[in-house]
Structure 1
Amino acid sequence: MRKLAFINGEVITVNPQGDVFEACLVEGNRISKVGTTEEIKKLLNIKTEIIDLKGKTVLPGLIDAHMHLYLYGISLLNLNCKNPGITSVKELLGEIKKVVSEKAKGEVIRVFGFNELMVKEQRYPTIQELDELTTEHTIIITRTCGHIGVVNTAALQLAGINHDTIDPHGGTIEKDGYGRLTGRLIENAFLEFNQYVPYSEEELYNALEKAQEQLLSYGITSVHDAGGFDENSFRVMQQASQADQLKLRVYAMIGSLNNCETFTKNMIASGIVTNTGNDSFKIGPAKLFTDGSSTGPTIATREPYTSDSENYGYLQYSEDELYKIFSPAHKKGYQLTVHAQGDKAIEQYLNVIERLQELHPRQDHRHRVEHLGVCPPDLQQRVRDLGLIPVLNPPFPFEFGESYLRNYGGRTDYMYAAKQLIDLGVVVTAGSDAPITTANPFVGMFMAVERITKGGTPFGQVQRVTLLDVIRMYTINAAYASRDEKIKGSIEVGKLADLAILNKSILNCPTEELLDVEVEMTVLNGEFVYSKHSCEVNI
């Protein structure tokens, strides 16, 4: 049996006592001992692999409790506007032109991460500009939020969209003042459009491989996948697990980015229940979208946007519709969750959970709510009383904080309200929602502790938490959200040996240095799955 000893370091156990030790021992795929370096040394033999940490931190393998694994991988494989070199629409069009020259006629050209607020022109590309680049390729530009897209005429024709096409419920096919299509598809209009441009199995496998490679370099050993593209992508993920091609532990939500309601209903009807699976791949909660994007902005709010007194955002369902979909799932023992960013959407979901619990009470249901963006104190209290698990997005305000301040004003004091929720005794978790923003968990940790945007603007600082608080959000609390707290999420004897070894002591460095933290080694199931080869290993 393989033995790994980590000594002379800072082992942040995240156990109930919050202990920090010097060393830990791994035997096989489990943690067998945590303690002082001297205590661990007494258990070593000639075959033990010894890693001298030299004061650096060991964390439990980090858990991203909300991200889109496929979409993240796809975004890494295609043109991405988050590249610092793309600062204008003109530059973006130039980059797309290069891709057009490399693609065969009829192929799809995908662009990710566009943000009209981050380019010099402060606007979207026009359909005319895209058509000038090509009429023989499908061009799809996905906004950074994932809820809005800009496409060319060829793409609209592929989906059968013309100037007579009626807007879907909860979405908009944008037209100009003359009734002409602009190429911009908003919310359900864009989400439904994507079913016409599916990904091949080869693309899906390549996306999984690329995403896993990057996530392991961040010390992330488990992800809660918040939805792939359709039934096909869900199937491919299961097949990858069976073929040992999944290098991460995946908790896969029953939901999709395209035609989510139908997919979720079909999965519930099939009888595949939450927590079916094993330590590597498990079925997660049934999930639906209730509103839109916090940066769009299209979230459903109780009061109008600060930036637009006529805008309250989008609700995807009525309360009764949401109740009708979720009622059979709740009664059959599924975990439930929704995408809910605005306070109106959050309140609607809380009403549904309250009705379900009154009529069909369940103990320890562990229903979740993804994002919980604008959540004032009255809703925070209800989150606690209903026993919900919020999955917040600490990195969001780092990248998007200035737009939040413009669109929601003083409501930003209770956006992603980690501190107030923790003070209420709520089990708070964290997810990146990558590729919407960075998957780097240390950006999320910095933002949760400092609440300062990338531009240096203070953001809802009443919600600042301690470093140990946010580490719990990315580890044991996230494990709790998938009913895995007994096997992972902390460095304790008997738990799975999933570890992230950092390049410094994060308990003894200035908070701003969290942005520069790197992972030197990642251990999954007792095996090294990522290494920068900068730690001293003696065998």
Structure 2
Amino acid sequence: MRMIKNIFVLSVLIGLLFASGCGENKMNDNCDLVLLNGEIYTVNDSIPWAEALAVKGDRIYKVGSNEEIEMYIGDSTAIIDLNGRFVMPGFIDSHAHLIGIGENLIDVDLRDAQNWDEVIAAVAKAASERRPGEWIVGRGWHQEKFDPEPEPNVEGYPVHNALSNAVPYNPVMLVHASGHAVFANAKAMEIAGADTITSNPPGGVIVRDSTGKPIGVFEENAENIIRSAYERYLNDRSLDELNAEVIKKIKFASDLCLKNGVTTLHDAGEDLETIELIKKSVDSNYVKIRLYVMINDALDKLKGKLKDYKLVGYGENRLTVRAIKQYIDGALGSRGAWLLEPYSDLPDSYGSNVTPIKTLDDYCRLAAENGFQMCIHTIGDRGNREALNLYEKYSRQYENFDQMRWRIEHAQHVTPFDIKRFARLNVIAAMQGIHCTSDAPFVIERLGNERAASGAYVWRSMLDRGVVICNGTDAPVESVNPIASFYASVTRKNKDGVGFYTKQKMTREEAIKTYTINGAYAAFEENLKGSLVEGKLADLVVLSNNLMKCSEDDILKTEVVYTIVGGKIVYKK
């Protein structure tokens, strides 16, 4: 009898211990954030759709049905009832310019200027609020989008006189929408010492009238004539003031990205000093977005310091630096893209090679020797061919080249022959869907119909060959809004609904991948983000429309409802 009693007591104790253990496990399974009643597109082929998701810490804990996820709700769990809204991984903008985005929020924004008169009016208004001698800086004008065409003009570019008369006492520097030219008024040219006898620098053009006088446009490397004068002006300010201004731009840019549902941004080129300020901003928690930063600095400067700047997952995966950015040519709009055949609308020009091939080769060697990804800005078909020639050289020298994931930024105009080389060399094409429809009005003028049809923004040809495409906006060249770029990717229609070689468009599934898992892959982060899978970072966006199912017209009406980074709501409409 005593033995039976002891067995009973032992059984009770075991039961209590078991119950206690289960309770503890249940408590440990309580999650921090739960999303219910949604249409969740996971970008995970095994489970493409779900209706609920649970987050613990900064990671996705479980994806499944409402019933499966509700069991992880505890007293302290935050709950979002999606009410049928669409959820997808946070947008990864694979090519943009962080500081430039911030500058556009501070300087004169000219992206919506419909003609040259509107540009002059915007600059004159800014001048009325400044003291004489203060520089006025703006960005976003594009001569091909002016209606009517400015008069007088040279190669479609306006001449500075009207702007100089409207703003005579303030030097003005207006960056072209592409970033590959600047416009200066007479005061800025006077300060810079740019006149009739000033020579074109290597890889740059001072646009002149028939008498040889500069009209105010400085293309490619000639920009530095005006930019250097502006830099001298800035140097009158203290280093602390300058750094504070940069950090302000970083914060503004980060906040704007989150408002647009962008949770990771590939920053396409910063110098070492700016990277230090970005790191400082991450430490101070000014940066809520995740950043993948490419280094763009002088070769001699990098040779001794490159390894010191390599960062992977710094600041709780807020900052990674493991890529080098360089330029082989300019932009198509400013006729700086380097072409195999002359421009159709300027037969004596092939564009510009802005960085000597030998110098690019040296950068490639530095990247390969130090485990850095190489990212070369390449627009024209000649530029793409020369960049691929360099990459092919290193593919023969490094057995693991296809794992190095070297990229070509933009890849806007590529011959059919070189499309095959992208695939064979496993080169990533970092393209921007919105550039296609934004540039469409002048692409045929620049290239002619045959070249445009076979090689301009050839997403379908690339994808069918197995090339990895990652998407983005090149902001501030375009708005950082990924919805507009997604729409362009799946429709290839401009704002008037006119299609541009629509056989090259992506499917919606492909376009979402270019903005999520492909962007993660392009930064060696596909195991960390880019799909809603258990164990990955809880970076996601809640949208007002289902991008996989809504009508084409409704795509552009889509709004960001929530942006969530690391399980934290960082933007709510």
TM-score (norm 2): 0.87
Change (3 A) 1:154 1:202: farther
Equivalent residue, structure 2, for 1:224 = 266
Equivalent residue, structure 1, for 2:305 = 270
Q: What SS class does the counterpart of residue 353 from structure 2 fall into?
A: coil
Residue 297 in structure 1 maps to residue 335 in structure 2: yes
In structure 2, C-alpha distance between the alignment counterparts of 1:141 and 1:82, rounded to whole Å: 11
Change (3 A) 1:195 1:529: farther
Return the match for 1:104 from 110, 124, 131: 131
Change (3 A) 1:11 1:241: same
Q: What SS class does the counterpart of residue 398 from structure 1 fall into?
A: helix
Task: State the Cα distance separating 1:269 from its structure 2 match.
Answer: 3.0
Equivalent residue, structure 2, for 1:412 = 452
| Mapping 1:453-532, distance limit 5 Å | 453-532=494-573
Output the amino acid matched with 1:357: S
Residue 70 in structure 1 maps to residue 109 in structure 2: no
Return the match for 1:434 from 472, 475, 496: 475
Output the amino acid matched with 2:451: R
- Alpha carbons 1:254, 1:267 under 8 Å: kept: no
| Mapping 1:30-69, distance limit 5 Å | 30-69=59-98
Task: State the Cα distance separating 1:276 from its structure 2 match.
Answer: 4.2
Residue 150 in structure 1 maps to residue 183 in structure 2: yes
Task: State the Cα distance separating 1:358 from its structure 2 match.
Answer: 1.4
Return the match for 1:213 from 241, 255, 261: 255
Q: Which moved more, 1:488-497 or 1:117-126?
A: 117-126
In structure 2, C-alpha distance between the alignment counterparts of 1:191 and 1:16, rounded to whole Å: 48
Q: What SS class does the counterpart of residue 205 from structure 1 fall into?
A: helix
Task: State the Cα distance separating 1:286 from its structure 2 match.
Answer: 1.0
Residue 341 in structure 1 maps to residue 383 in structure 2: no
In structure 1, C-alpha distance between the alignment counterparts of 2:47 and 2:450, rounded to whole Å: 34
Residues 348-407 of structure 1: CA deviation (Å, up to 9, x unaligned): 011111112213443411111100011122111101111111101100122221111222
- Alpha carbons 1:62, 1:221 under 8 Å: kept: yes
Q: Which moved more, 1:428-437 or 1:94-103?
A: 94-103
Return the match for 2:198 from 165, 170, 173: 165
In structure 2, C-alpha distance between the alignment counterparts of 1:355 and 1:192, rounded to whole Å: 35
Change (3 A) 1:318 1:54: same
| Mapping 1:12-411, distance limit 5 Å | 12-17=41-46, 19-83=48-112, 86-123=113-150, 124-191=157-224, 193-198=226-231, 200-228=242-270, 230-255=271-296, 262=298, 264-272=299-307, 274-278=310-314, 279-363=317-401, 364-408=403-447, 409-411=449-451
Output the amino acid matched with 1:419: R
In structure 1, C-alpha distance between the alignment counterparts of 2:412 and 2:165, rounded to whole Å: 39
In structure 2, C-alpha distance between the alignment counterparts of 1:223 and 1:195, rounded to whole Å: 28
Equivalent residue, structure 2, for 1:537 = none
Task: State the Cα distance separating 1:308 from its structure 2 match.
Answer: 2.9
| Structure 2 residue ranges without an equivalent (≥5) | 1-29, 151-156, 235-241
Rg larger in 1 or in 2?
2
Output the amino acid matched with 1:524: V
Output the amino acid matched with 1:25: A
In structure 1, C-alpha distance between the alignment counterparts of 2:340 and 2:99, rounded to whole Å: 33
Output the amino acid matched with 2:267: D
- Alpha carbons 1:265, 1:325 under 8 Å: kept: no
Output the amino acid matched with 2:358: D
In structure 1, C-alpha distance between the alignment counterparts of 2:386 and 2:114, rounded to whole Å: 39
Which structure is higher in RCO with an 8 Å CA cutoff and minimum separation 6? 1
- Alpha carbons 1:268, 1:329 under 8 Å: kept: no
- Alpha carbons 1:125, 1:150 under 8 Å: kept: no
Residues 47-99 of structure 1: CA deviation (Å, up to 9, x unaligned): 2222111211111111100001111111122221223xx43322322222221
Output the amino acid matched with 2:528: I
Change (3 A) 1:332 1:221: same
In structure 1, C-alpha distance between the alignment counterparts of 2:557 and 2:216, rounded to whole Å: 39
Task: State the Cα distance separating 1:43 from its structure 2 match.
Answer: 2.2
| Structure 1 residue ranges without an equivalent (≥5) | 533-539
Change (3 A) 1:523 1:492: same
In structure 2, C-alpha distance between the alignment counterparts of 1:192 and 1:239, rounded to whole Å: 31
- Alpha carbons 2:31, 2:54 under 8 Å: kept: no
Q: What SS class does the counterpart of residue 74 from structure 2 fall into?
A: coil
Output the amino acid matched with 1:336: M
Q: Which moved more, 1:41-50 or 1:156-165?
A: 156-165
- Alpha carbons 2:96, 2:472 under 8 Å: kept: yes
Change (3 A) 1:183 1:308: closer
Output the amino acid matched with 1:464: K
Change (3 A) 1:430 1:274: farther
Aligned sequence identity (%): 29
- Alpha carbons 1:402, 1:457 under 8 Å: kept: no
- Alpha carbons 1:147, 1:191 under 8 Å: kept: no
Task: State the Cα distance separating 1:242 from its structure 2 match.
Answer: 2.1
Output the amino acid matched with 1:417: V
Residues 211-262 of structure 1: CA deviation (Å, up to 9, x unaligned): 222211111011000124x44433322221222211111111111xxxx5x2
Q: What SS class does the counterpart of residue 237 from structure 1 fall into?
A: helix
- Alpha carbons 2:373, 2:407 under 8 Å: kept: yes
Task: State the Cα distance separating 1:461 from its structure 2 match.
Answer: 1.5
Task: State the Cα distance separating 1:274 from its structure 2 match.
Answer: 4.8
Output the amino acid matched with 1:35: G
In structure 2, C-alpha distance between the alignment counterparts of 1:504 and 1:181, rounded to whole Å: 50
Runs of 4 or more above 6 Å deviation: none
In structure 2, C-alpha distance between the alignment counterparts of 1:19 and 1:244, rounded to whole Å: 34
Output the amino acid matched with 2:525: D
In structure 2, C-alpha distance between the alignment counterparts of 1:389 and 1:39, rounded to whole Å: 38
Output the amino acid matched with 2:390: V
Output the amino acid matched with 1:141: L
Residues 157-197 of structure 1: CA deviation (Å, up to 9, x unaligned): 33333322221111012222222221110111114532432
Task: State the Cα distance separating 1:307 from its structure 2 match.
Answer: 2.4
In structure 1, C-alpha distance between the alignment counterparts of 2:496 and 2:446, rounded to whole Å: 17
Task: State the Cα distance separating 1:18 from its structure 2 match.
Answer: 6.0
In structure 2, C-alpha distance between the alignment counterparts of 1:268 and 1:20, rounded to whole Å: 48
Task: State the Cα distance separating 1:330 from its structure 2 match.
Answer: 1.5
Q: Which moved more, 1:424-433 or 1:24-33?
A: 424-433
